[in-house]
Structure 1
């Protein structure tokens, strides 16, 4: 006989377990004996610990997927995308196939409906695994497994960081008798307050089915493309097989070593899912054994091959196709606006999005969205070898702020590998701010001029008030926010148009005209008015207002711009954009969606005047190409930045506002002027018009539009002020007087004048003119003097005097009845002292006595008999 080998630790544990069988019999009613026996704990201490464990198990909210919906034209809801940490959808008892319920009991806990939460036989079997140091897998009843999953769910959901989640999971799954003991205690207590069916239902909804798939409904959908209520016997058994060992038996890895790749048939061919089939058939056999199915059902089911139909769930916004960027915006709204700043280490919005099973009903109008997508696709490519081309179209509803459309010329992807290989894809939403998944914004160009128009009217100026709109250098601007500008700023005009009032300036978008308006305002006031319409930088930096910003050099998101234009269309009431109409959590709780905040940015009277001027852009102005031809009135403003790197068309009816941007995504030297290229659809710089008119054509047809209110007559008043008298002043003195009165000085030509040479001779125009008008100061050449007074002189003396002064003399005679006037100058033209220069003609009239004596009329004696 050979020498005996020492017992292994495992064998010793088993012997210890057998030796404790008597105690096991005594403590069966407490259902804790096996755990105590195999660990060698003192029975009395362990029972005390068991009794002191908490008996109430709080079943926390299960992590469920969130669905985002948009509205179809018939009013029904279309699923855009889903979000989840765990792909789970809780369902009720009647929504689960009876095969799945029976398979779970037969395969995992045949005595489920008999025991009180802890199956003693199974627990004894599991105890052997524990003392041998193996993972605690077997021996747990369905109730215990449910408890374990609840503890995992509660711990992970309460964790604030990834590290805390990992620690919570480790604690809930540690290999220890203490953990088993706690699960038993909870299981026994749970069985006392919950029905068996409720526990089984909770188990089927919480169980892990491999990867991120949780719960029988999501498992049925993912692995077989059906609802849980429609599972066949073979399908149900395959899914329950996964629960036993999710990573081994899952059905989306047919070639893995643990799922059949190493198994071959009689022909030597690999047999996929062999491991799952073996476990599946075992479960089907148990279902037959316990009378849950017939022999015929059994034989048919085991004869079926395992044939999953993997149906990927819509995970994230990439499944939303053209609406993906809007979907991404909605997700960021949830993350940002439901986050509690006080808890820096967790984002409550993300937790809400991925765990509460929200049903999010958005503001998106799929009719308008689809037209925006196709309009961009028809006019702008996804990518262009010449430059990184970008385009967006955003529409919102004036008065509510509801976003109706948000489209982009890119395919959405957050995959770094995809983004690195093609610029047809992007994860950046060009429509919105950086904090909401957007870029750092784009220069809005001349579309930003409308805020100067608003402040012009705010400060009491009128639409037809005249000013100097000529191209020139501007040397001073008042700015009570950042300090006055003193220097020289001379912007170029897009063409030769000259506009000397606000209507013409807006209609033709004349840069120098808006600079002339801004020069009479406070730049700080323009900034505050822009902010009142919701303007802010997309990158979160403070908004500034320097002279160039009048022409739109701040980086603004298109969503911000369109909200401001909607405010103009809404009679000066601006409403912040919103994307969500309704939110319902999985438990039926309605969660208040973020609300739009509406602010009266300018008075309705100012808004009506703005609307009048902005309508003129469609009346022969810069927006003519954008007119959809529906007959609905529109306001609008075009914008083109320096070198046409960015082009815009922003406008609105009373019902829908739309902003379209087409330009260069990236800055720097690798940019292209849209005025130097064509797309397949036509001229690059006019693509914005083609897109805007297409979108607004649908918007006008669906939503209609009203006439904009007529401005108050005061909006058209002409404001005239006196022009200073500057004759005789030096040119410097004349300049100061003209500018102090609110006019623009311009030096005119030399003219004949009796003023000293080089001084001001007068103004053109004179009298009155509109503030800001150009007043030309005429310069004296000093060549004019006064005409000598020759009245009362005789003919020859008068002639000699005038000719001596350098004038030409013309003589006329006139009959007189006074003999003393005979031969005497009785009048002259020009009169004495009148300004005239040498060589001018002076006419003198000489009296000629007729010889008749006129009787006196007062009775005095006459001069004759």
Structure 2
């Protein structure tokens, strides 16, 4: 029997369709196979990696935006207290070592406790934030400090997917290229803390009045609390609920510091919520702050320390030489001696008075106080540094110094000393010059006849000083002024016959520097206002304060000795300054038409220059000061001397009284006369120096300054162009024995006290004018 082969049966497939795989039908077609799942997952990973790589490649770390780098400049008084801050953004960047460790730890405890052990992104935090946001629990940050730093520095605060994606990629790049310390410092410097304070340094000052380096744990924790809600958590202004929320957040930060072992538990237990300062308005540039900043800025830029562009970027801390106590004393004296006696509502003339003053330490050149005007935001021209008003007879000591330093001789060949006799006839023509002889009138056209150079100085006699300058040499007078401290480009500083009468227009600051040289034994130091400059923790080098022996010590002492007579002489133009009760040397000045009046005086310890300028508040034009304060006439011995005395009393209060150095010859050398030696009958002046009034307010009721206007005085009985023909029969004394004043001592004050101060003007700088300069 033949066997048949057995056929292999095919195993039925699922669904019983024979050898074919059954087709998926219905909803099962939507379920991916494991192969599809695996392939899709792998593709997603590759796509994600590719997109991430593309994002890393395409997204660049941009430059920091302007608001993130903008900083304020902080201006300090000499004692370190804040004068003001300038710039639109109240920020001062500091390096991390200038932030206390407690404040650093507080910020980490509040915002990112794992900062030093994580990357740029906290995935868990992002997921948690996304979940909370999706659940409607509010927008959640979930950002690391690195991300917040990136947002503050390179991006904006807008919540968007695009901004968030950029933030992530930039954060990764920043984390890879910057150290953790740099990132933390950047975060602390760019965060906003409320009260207009950007950065932890500005915040430390705004809330506690200390630097960031001095913050303790409680204070640092409070500032870290503010990062969450600056305005809502400001306990000085917040609602009761806001205050409680701030305290709760503060406790959270403090406890976090303990948990991370950044704060001992026992210290935490005894730490209480810190006392927070009340908000303070930004001092800005109002009052005297603007003048001080303006003067200091001129110093910084003129000396190449910081250029204007860099200064405008901010971030500088500039300590001035200004003593806050003396600054306040100067402001108080101007107010009490001048503005309290002005009433522009009743006397329009009072609105024209503009005061400027500068006080300098003669041994160092440091400017310790400066008054620039009534208010920088009302009168922006700095009266302390402007160079458009003539100096008047405050220039005469320069002529004295030129004569003594160069051993000058009179026209008949005798060495000039304080006892040298000059002709004080008003309008006397100068001898020895070229061209038409110059003939300067004295104040009120007053003639004095034969007087010593000391008396001519005390009474500020123009005719004597124009001859003195000619004898000394006009170019030498100019050169001496420059050596003593006047800028060589000072307007009007020309070697002409009128130079000793003050036709030049130096600033009040310039003249303080000149007199400081006299007070410092002839050693010249250009006045300075900036003691230290720092930018973001790095000191900016300052130039050395150069000292130059401008004139000999004996010349300086001789001039100082003579200027003491201006104050101590009962008839001297600066007699009001004697009320200081210390040895004082000084000189008054009054210019043509009384457009400016001056008093520059000094003690061995301090030099102060004060001037009053007449300026039309509407046009800015220079006008006469006559009538200001209800006084007919104006003189440097009035308001300027009174301001000077009031300030110096406060500035030197409690300091020991010291004397000036004595000249080598004691000022007692026999003098000579500039008169011809041909014997003849001496001319008789119209008034004796011992009885006549050397000028002043109306009718000679106030001792004046020797200017060519104001006061009264007799005409000379002889032709003023005629030179005296003999020497005086007796040698003049070094000081007159009586003060040539009226029987009633003048007060220099109006008869009624005004009730409101002047506001000053804001006009543009006026021109220097032509005039002859004038007296005293």
Q: Under a length normalisation based on structure 2, what TM-score does the superposition of the two structures give?
A: 0.63
Q: Please say if 1:410 is aligned against 2:374.
A: yes
Give the alignment of 1:556-575 within 5 angstroms.
Answer: 556-575=506-525
1:194 alignment partner in structure 2: 180
Give the alignment of 1:582-731 within 5 angstroms.
Answer: 582-587=532-537, 589-617=538-566, 618-629=568-579, 632-666=582-616, 671-674=623-626, 677-678=629-630, 686-700=638-652, 701-702=654-655, 704-712=657-665, 716-719=669-672
Q: Distance in 2 between matches of 1:533 and 1:595?
A: 18
Q: Please say if 1:448 is aligned against 2:395.
A: yes
Q: Distance in 2 between matches of 1:766 and 1:217?
A: 75
Instruction: Say how many residue pairs are matched.
Output: 598
The answer to whether the Cα contact below 8 Å between 1:518 and 1:550 also exists between their aligned partners in 2 is yes
Distance 1:373 1:104, change over 3 A: same
Of residues 418, 421, 430, the one that matches 1:466 is 421
Give the alignment of 1:10-409 within 5 angstroms.
Answer: 25=45, 33=48, 37=51, 66-70=73-77, 77-83=80-86, 85-88=89-92, 90=94, 92=99, 94-96=101-103, 100-105=107-112, 115-120=118-123, 141-147=144-150, 149=152, 181-190=169-178, 193-194=179-180, 199-200=183-184, 202-209=186-193, 213-216=197-200, 218-219=202-203, 222=206, 229-230=217-218, 236-237=224-225, 239-241=227-229, 311-312=279-280, 314-318=282-286, 325-339=291-305, 347-351=309-313, 354-356=314-316, 358=317, 360=319, 362-381=320-339, 384-385=343-344, 386=348, 387-407=351-371
Q: Aligned-pair distance for 1:580? A: 3.2
Distance 1:94 1:115, change over 3 A: closer
The answer to whether the Cα contact below 8 Å between 2:615 and 2:621 also exists between their aligned partners in 1 is no
After superposition, give the CA deviation of every residue in 1:744-786 in whole Å (9 maximum; x if it has no partner): xx9999xxxxxxxxxxxxx95499999xxxxxxxxxxxxxxxx
1:740 alignment partner in structure 2: none
Q: Distance in 2 between matches of 1:488 and 1:692?
A: 34
Q: Distance in 1 between matches of 2:614 and 2:512?
A: 19
1:550 alignment partner in structure 2: 500
The answer to whether the Cα contact below 8 Å between 1:444 and 1:639 also exists between their aligned partners in 2 is yes
Q: Distance in 2 between matches of 1:703 and 1:328?
A: 34
The answer to whether the Cα contact below 8 Å between 2:599 and 2:609 also exists between their aligned partners in 1 is yes
Q: Distance in 2 between matches of 1:218 and 1:347?
A: 22
Q: Distance in 2 between matches of 1:213 and 1:507?
A: 57
Give the alignment of 1:479-558 within 5 angstroms.
Answer: 486=436, 489-494=439-444, 495-536=446-487, 541=491, 543-558=493-508
Q: Aligned-pair distance for 1:450? A: 1.4
Distance 1:560 1:721, change over 3 A: closer
The answer to whether the Cα contact below 8 Å between 2:673 and 2:727 also exists between their aligned partners in 1 is no
Q: Give the root-mean-square deviation of aligned CA atoms.
A: 5.4
Distance 1:223 1:599, change over 3 A: closer
Q: Aligned-pair distance for 1:672? A: 4.2
After superposition, give the CA deviation of every residue in 1:119-162 in whole Å (9 maximum; x if it has no partner): 346779999xxxxxxxxx9785421332454568xxxxxxxxxx
Q: Distance in 2 between matches of 1:542 and 1:48?
A: 67
The answer to whether the Cα contact below 8 Å between 2:459 and 2:573 also exists between their aligned partners in 1 is no
Q: Aligned-pair distance for 1:688? A: 2.1
1:800 alignment partner in structure 2: none
> Higher strand fraction: Structure 1 or Structure 2?
1
Flag the structure with larger Rg.
Answer: 1
Q: Aligned-pair distance for 1:394? A: 2.1
The answer to whether the Cα contact below 8 Å between 2:425 and 2:447 also exists between their aligned partners in 1 is no
Distance 1:326 1:485, change over 3 A: farther
Q: Aligned-pair distance for 1:395? A: 1.7
The SS at the match of 1:716 is coil
The SS at the match of 2:589 is strand
Which region of structure 1 is more displaced relative to structure 2, 718-727 or 570-579? Answer: 718-727
Distance 1:337 1:240, change over 3 A: farther
Q: Aligned-pair distance for 1:602? A: 1.9
Q: Distance in 1 between matches of 2:150 and 2:252?
A: 24
Q: Distance in 2 between matches of 1:392 and 1:92?
A: 41
Q: Distance in 2 between matches of 1:92 and 1:628?
A: 53
The SS at the match of 1:712 is coil
The answer to whether the Cα contact below 8 Å between 2:574 and 2:586 also exists between their aligned partners in 1 is no
Q: Aligned-pair distance for 1:518? A: 2.6
Q: Aligned-pair distance for 1:707? A: 3.1
Q: Aligned-pair distance for 1:114? A: 6.5
Q: Distance in 2 between matches of 1:312 and 1:212?
A: 11
Distance 1:526 1:492, change over 3 A: same
After superposition, give the CA deviation of every residue in 1:361-410 in whole Å (9 maximum; x if it has no partner): x3333443333222221111176412321223322122311222223551
Q: Distance in 1 between matches of 2:40 and 2:297?
A: 58
The SS at the match of 1:80 is strand
Q: Distance in 1 between matches of 2:435 and 2:360?
A: 37
The answer to whether the Cα contact below 8 Å between 1:103 and 1:237 also exists between their aligned partners in 2 is yes
Q: Aligned-pair distance for 1:632? A: 3.3
Distance 1:545 1:350, change over 3 A: farther
Q: Distance in 2 between matches of 1:81 and 1:668?
A: 28
The answer to whether the Cα contact below 8 Å between 2:422 and 2:673 also exists between their aligned partners in 1 is no
Distance 1:283 1:447, change over 3 A: closer
The answer to whether the Cα contact below 8 Å between 2:554 and 2:663 also exists between their aligned partners in 1 is no
Distance 1:492 1:213, change over 3 A: same
Q: Aligned-pair distance for 1:312? A: 3.7
Q: Distance in 1 between matches of 2:186 and 2:337?
A: 53
After superposition, give the CA deviation of every residue in 1:184-217 in whole Å (9 maximum; x if it has no partner): 2222444xx537xx75464233324579532245
Distance 1:582 1:100, change over 3 A: closer
1:428 alignment partner in structure 2: 381
Distance 1:707 1:125, change over 3 A: same
Q: Distance in 2 between matches of 1:722 and 1:81?
A: 60
Q: Give ranges in structure 1 of 5+ residues lacking alignment.
A: 1-18, 28-32, 128-136, 153-165, 255-270, 294-307, 414-418, 420-425, 433-438, 479-483, 728-745, 750-762, 771-865
Q: Aligned-pair distance for 1:240? A: 2.0
The answer to whether the Cα contact below 8 Å between 1:572 and 1:602 also exists between their aligned partners in 2 is yes
1:840 alignment partner in structure 2: none
Q: Distance in 1 between matches of 2:202 and 2:551?
A: 53
After superposition, give the CA deviation of every residue in 1:244-292 in whole Å (9 maximum; x if it has no partner): xx9xx9989x9xxxxxxxxxxxxxxxx9999x99999999999999999
